Amino acid sequence: MPETEASDAAWSTAADIAAAVAAGRTTAESVVAATFARIRARDPLLNAFTAVTEERASARARALDQARARRETLPPLAGVPFAVKNLFDIAGLATLAGAKINRDAPPANADATVIQRLEAAGAILVGALNMGEYAYDFTGENIHDGPSHNPHDLKRMTGGSSGGSAAAVAGGLVPLALGSDTNGSIRVPSSLSGLFGLKPTFGRISRAGMFPFVASLDHAGPFARTARDLALTYDAMSGYDPDDPVCANLPAEPVTPLLDRGVTGLRIAVAGGYFKARTAEVLYAVDQVAAALGANRDIEIPEAERARAAAFVITMSEGGSLHLPRLRTRARDFDPAVRDRLIAGAMVPGALVTKAQKFRGWYRTEVLKLFAEVDAIVAPATPCTAPLIGQQMFTFGEAELPVRANLGIYTQPISFIGLPVVAVPVPLEPLPIGVQIIAAPWREDIALRIAHALEMKGVVAARRPPM
């Protein structure tokens, strides 16, 4: 394939690939072969992948092409390559969750539910992606596997913990990737790497086969370069899963057919107070999105700072509890930065964690009242654009704050109560930054419609990086 054609194919959307495969303009095998060629060529720069599943992917691609040759109707994502954060079970591979310790785990018996569903929709798994150790990370750095690199500037972090997922999609290796989001681990890398990312409602998408971090707060969700691709992926994964006790027993509610409804009639406000931007890029990005949506009122999310504190405490405590057996026997195999937080988390008095959960109940009630007045809330996704890999501090208004602990200051109060959020990329130069479109529980349709409308207006876009 000529280089220009190959490089264009790198940036094809999932929707376009599926359409091309269905129409016979290309084959699933050639899409997959080109994907692995790109991974071999570019992943040494991005460090997005920790494993590739070439044999499996090629077999699935052949099967799809044979189905097409038999004139069978292909499923909606037929031939679309995707990759997953390495905390999702992939049959035959140890589920790393970004950890050295997990390299010794036996291989997974079966794929995670979300992988099974995407493959049932015809998408083809091509590999597992780098992540922050045990997901306790906002940077995308990993002491064992190395940092993932931001395609917009390879010296900069992707954001985390779904760092490899962001690098793979933003870097044109795959059009779709899956990540997880506990306090911001889809939205932060989406923001820093210039992508669309969806953290769905808590309990919407199955977590079965996903290595946990914080049972109270974990979500699975997709990354893509368009809102439509995000919706297609979400639709393919949705639906009740009895294998996940947290998964809500609700029917799937397809969103893709609703995307073009636009935003007319939607009541949209901008989060003020705690969420008020303190850096020029963040302010500009939020203002651009708000203006495009006609969102001319502010809304105060009550006690957001306290919500962030409560999410912090619950995260440390549940994370510490989860890893206690490993901390007892293999503490030296952890990233020290992760280890010491988890150990401290195991030491937080239970009475305070219970209070944090009670506060969470109060906070949910109060925030849900806001959705009687609005359909969506606009808020920043990160307090800054992508820091340099290894950078310790960043400027936040008049203060200097530690990067690691504070990249999630805007995301944590939202995931704390499981609201659905689409992070939309504002294509600033030289570095993009994201904005959160926050909807009421179970209203992913509204958040995705807004994201799509912004994209159609040209206000948000997953800009192609210079690499």
Binding site for another protein (CB under 8 A): 216, 303, 305-306, 309-310, 312-313, 316-317, 324, 327-328, 331-332, 336, 339-341, 343-349, 352-362, 364, 405, 417
CB-side neighbour CA atoms (13 Å) of 347: 7
CB-side neighbour CA atoms (13 Å) of 371: 16
CB of 134 vs another protein, minimal distance in Å:
15
Nearer to another protein by Cβ, of 363 and 371: the residue is: 363
347 Cβ contact partners less than 8 Å away, ≥ 6 residues apart: 320
Residue 24 burial by CB count (10 A; 0-12/13-18/19+): exposed, middle or buried?
A: exposed
- Structure tokens, 392: 């310790």
Which is the catalytic residue, given 85, 165, 193, 317? Answer: 85
Nearer to another protein by Cβ, of 284 and 442: the residue is: 442
Active site residue 58: no
Active site residue 100: no
CB of 336 vs another protein, minimal distance in Å:
7
* Dist CA 50 CA 147 (whole Å): 11
* Dist CA 179 CA 197 (whole Å): 9
Which is the catalytic residue, given 161, 162, 180, 190? Answer: 161
Please spell the DSSP secondary structure of 233-266, one letter per residue: HHHHH-S--TT-TTS--------GGGGGG-STT-
Nearer to another protein by Cβ, of 330 and 464: the residue is: 330
Nearer to another protein by Cβ, of 36 and 363: the residue is: 363
Nearer to another protein by Cβ, of 94 and 215: the residue is: 215
DSSP state of 269: E
CB of 354 vs another protein, minimal distance in Å:
6
Measured over the CA atoms of residue 69, residue 74, residue 78 and residue 84, the dihedral's sign is: negative
Active site residue 85: yes
* Dist CA 360 CA 400 (whole Å): 29
Q: If we measure between CA atoms, which residue out of 163, 166, 99, 171 comes closest to residue 130?
A: 163
CB of 246 vs another protein, minimal distance in Å:
10
Nearer to another protein by Cβ, of 194 and 203: the residue is: 203
Which is the catalytic residue, given 12, 162, 165, 185? Answer: 185
CB of 356 vs another protein, minimal distance in Å:
5
CB of 363 vs another protein, minimal distance in Å:
8
3-state DSSP assignment of residue 426: strand
Active-site residues, by number, are: 85, 161, 185
